[in-house]
Amino acid sequence: MGHLLSPSLLAADFSRLNKEIAMVNRSEADWLHLDIMDGVFVPNISFGFPVLKYVKQLSEKPLDTHLMISYPDRYLERFRDAGANILTVHYEACPHLNRTVDEIRRLGMKAGVSINPHTSLTVLEWVLPYIDMVLIMTVNPGYGGQEFISNSYDRIRALKKMITESGNDVMIQVDGGVDESNARKLIESGVDVLVAGTSVFESDDPEETIRKLKNLG
């Protein structure tokens, strides 16, 4: 199986949200990425349940929902009910991570765990058997359009080695500064799912940009 592509709706034009989602539906994208920010865990606020429910009504792609919020355990069922298919929480926000990812799976969603750029990969070692995906942040979370952190390639390769040696079937996703200049190297380093926001929605031809990112050859 080739890599997956998940355009990040955070970079879309919200004044024409229905048209932006229709474009993603037509495109070769696999998922639709939604960044949920609370202004506490990260220094930005994005959108909540009403927008998520609206997107679910329009999207033909699975909703890849990334929670950058404090106390995510309070809201897991509500995100499921709003339409999330994949739910990713931050290691840094979950004091009882195993319990959190177990609950996500019990609710019928795929469970992901994200780590910030400074967080050691070793914190993931004992949770790999219980999750479906690791999201490596390749920028500091909170804002779109940031510059890619160059040492992320080494982290991805090390994580890929850890997952392979563990024998678990866990995908690697990256989010932050992904574009046509680094996408191929990210895939070669071991990435399974690319999240691309600004490079897609601010391009002259978003659908063509998605096609290029999806078909790196």
Are the C-beta atoms of residues 68 and 47 closer than 8 Å to each other? no
Q: How far apart are the C-alpha atoms of 128 and 132, rounded to whole Å?
A: 8
Q: How far apart are the C-alpha atoms of 72 and 89, rounded to whole Å?
A: 7
Count CB neighbours of 104 within 10 A: 29
Q: How far apart are the C-alpha atoms of 30 and 139, rounded to whole Å?
A: 22
Q: How far is CA 96 from CA 24, 52, 65, 127, in A?
A: 35, 26, 20, 11
Q: Annotated catalytic sites, by residue?
A: 35, 175
